[in-house]
């Protein structure tokens, strides 16, 4: 009797597992529309959340640049003060607040989800009509809140955008170190040795060319001291990262400092490009039209058993801070800054945010290099004592 009961339980468990696997395979092999309609597909959900985030970005841009023509009804709202409180920079903050509220609600409702096929997984991966309605409702509600709340949110958004930059920074450095570790594994070291050398040499060549071009474009005169300092200090930081990485006690190779060099040269270029148009030291001083290319990449890996393929809570947390970040880009990190049409992340505040981000990237990278050496020395000291 006990054997029969055990067999029935195992059959039920195997049956439920097979049903889950079958539904999982059906979702992955179905059409795009079928996956969206049926829901409960975490892989497809990422793209839908990305489209919602993109829609918020476009709406914020439209409110800032074309609000008075495209949304004349807003001028009649009590909190809009004739349009001044709901359009322009404050309009961007209102759209950002609605987007942040949506992803923060999703963060609270999905944080800690560990397995597929439960109610929180279904909520994350399905119920799209309800969630799109929630996003629209929260965005609309943001235009009804008093102005002083929007001003408070604008100050908080500076911190949230900084958190987003930090997450982005750690993700880039982690990816670079992961790539270097993969190339240094025993199984692939011989095959990757030539590729690593070629990639590292190419990275350093691009860094040098980028430094030279920035001197030509953004420091044409000796009086351009600030730009000369930014560019020269970037070159010094590349040399510092390379020296620490090649130190015998660290021995991290030349690939990671080369790739990090590309990253900080790019940040330095973005920082100088963020300087207000009209500066004498910028030959290419026309208003720039650019976007931030760096983003958090979610790995697409098959889950083990019924485990979720990625952290739902963290996924929504990144989008929530990203909502604050795009607001700062569109208003130039200054809630009282008047920014021209078709410009993103322009102003002295934006420039210094980028520069500090570059310096912080180097500090984090150097700490990741020297921390194991310091911890090992401390451990040896404690053991000897």
Per-residue pLDDT tens over the stretch 4-43: 444 444 444 444 444 444 444 444 445 555 555 555 677 7
Backbone angles phi, psi at 197, to 5 degrees: -65, -45
Give residue 69's pLDDT band: very low, low, confident or very high (50, 70, 90): low
3-state secondary structure (DSSP) of residue 291: coil
| Termini Cα distance of the chain | 63
Give residue 66's pLDDT band: very low, low, confident or very high (50, 70, 90): confident
Tokens of 28: 């992955």
Flag whether pLDDT at 286 surpasses 60: no
3-state secondary structure (DSSP) of residue 197: helix
Average pLDDT over the chain reads 76
| DSSP classification of residue 75 | G
Q: How far is CA 369 from CA 223, 252, 266, in A?
A: 37, 8, 22
Q: Is the dihedral of CA 185, 187, 193, 198 positive or negative?
A: negative
Q: What is the pLDDT of residue 188?
A: 56
CA-to-CA distance for 342 and 65, rounded, in angstroms?
8
Tokens of 120: 């929180």
Query: In this predicted structure, which of 43-47, 130-134, 177-181 has the lowest mean pLDDT?
Result: 177-181
174-197: average pLDDT: 72
- Give the residue carrying structure tokens 């990190």: 333
Higher pLDDT, 303 or 233: 233
Q: What is the pLDDT of residue 285?
A: 39
Backbone angles phi, psi at 307, to 5 degrees: -70, 145
39-51: average pLDDT: 80
332-368: burial string, b at 16+ Cβ within 10 Å, e else: bbbbeeebeeebbbbbebbbebbbebbeebbebbbeb
Question: Domain residue spans in the chain?
Answer: 33-281+310-383
44-73: average pLDDT: 81
Backbone angles phi, psi at 67, to 5 degrees: -60, -45
Contacts 24+ apart (CB under 8 A), 211-217: 211/235, 211/265, 214/265, 214/268, 214/269, 214/272, 216/283, 217/282, 217/283, 217/284
CA-to-CA distance for 43 and 79, rounded, in angstroms?
40
Query: In this predicted structure, which of 20-34, 49-63, 99-113, 272-286 has the lowest mean pLDDT?
Result: 20-34
Flag whether pLDDT at 87 surpasses 90: no
Flag whether pLDDT at 310 surpasses 80: no
Higher pLDDT, 127 or 103: 103
CA neighbours closer than 13 Å in the CB half-sphere of residue 101: 19
Contact 271, 263 (CB under 8 A): no
Flag whether pLDDT at 186 surpasses 60: no
| DSSP classification of residue 223 | T
CA-to-CA distance for 234 and 238, rounded, in angstroms?
6
Flag whether pLDDT at 357 surpasses 80: yes
Q: What is the pLDDT of residue 346?
A: 62
Q: What is the pLDDT of residue 335?
A: 65
For residue range 198-253, list pLDDT tens digits in order: 888 898 999 999 999 888 888 878 788 888 899 999 999 999 999 988 888 888 88
Residues 6+ apart with CB under 8 A from 126: 38, 39, 40
CA-to-CA distance for 51 and 34, rounded, in angstroms?
17
Give residue 284's pLDDT band: very low, low, confident or very high (50, 70, 90): very low
376-385: average pLDDT: 77
> CA angle, corner 196, sides to 195 and 199, nearest 5?
85
Longest dimension (CA), the chain: 92
Flag whether pLDDT at 128 surpasses 60: yes
């Amino acid at each position: 009797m006990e054997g029969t009961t055990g067999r029935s339980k195992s059959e039920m468990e195997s049956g439920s597992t097979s049903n889950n696997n079958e539904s999982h395979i059906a979702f992955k092999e179905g059409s795009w529309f079928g996956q969206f309609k049926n829901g409960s597909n975490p892989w497809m959900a990422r793209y839908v959340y990305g489209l919602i985030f993109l829609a918020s970005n476009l709406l914020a841009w439209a409110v800032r640049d074309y609000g008075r023509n495209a949304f004349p009804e807003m001028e009649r709202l009590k909190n809009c003060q004739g349009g001044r409180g709901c359009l322009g920079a404050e309009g961007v903050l209102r759209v950002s607040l609605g987007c942040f509220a949506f992803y923060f609600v999703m963060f609270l409702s999905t944080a800690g989800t560990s397995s597929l096929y439960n109610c929180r997984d279904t909520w994350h991966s399905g119920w799209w009509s309800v969630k799109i309605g929630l996003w629209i409702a929260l965005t609309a509600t943001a235009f009804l809140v008093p102005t002083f709340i929007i001003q408070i949110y604008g100050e908080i958004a500076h911190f949230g955008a900084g958190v987003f930059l930090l997450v982005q920074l750690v993700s880039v450095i982690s990816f670079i170190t992961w790539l270097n570790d993969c190339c240094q594994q025993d199984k692939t070291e011989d095959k990757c040795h030539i590729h690593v050398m070629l990639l590292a040499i190419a990275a350093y060549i691009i860094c040098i060319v980028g430094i030279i071009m920035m001197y030509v474009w953004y420091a044409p005169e000796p009086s351009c001291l600030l730009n000369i300092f930014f560019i020269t200090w970037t070159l010094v930081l590349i040399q510092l990262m390379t020296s620490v990485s090649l130190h015998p006690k660290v021995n991290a190779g030349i690939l990671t400092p080369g790739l990090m060099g590309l990253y900080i040269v790019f940040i330095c270029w973005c920082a100088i490009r963020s300087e207000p148009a009209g500066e004498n030291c910028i030959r290419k001083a026309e208003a720039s039209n650019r976007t931030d290319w760096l983003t958090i990449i979610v790995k697409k890996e098959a889950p083990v058993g019924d485990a979720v393929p990625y952290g739902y809570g963290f996924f929504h947390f990144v989008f929530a801070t990203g909502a604050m970040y795009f607001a700062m880009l569109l208003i130039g990190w200054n809630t009282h800054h008047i920014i021209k049409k078709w410009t993103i992340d322009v102003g002295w505040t934006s420039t210094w945010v980028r520069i500090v981000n570059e310096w912080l990237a180097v500090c984090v990278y150097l700490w990741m290099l020297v921390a194991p050496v310091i911890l090992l020395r401390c451990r040896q000291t404690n053991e000897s004592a």
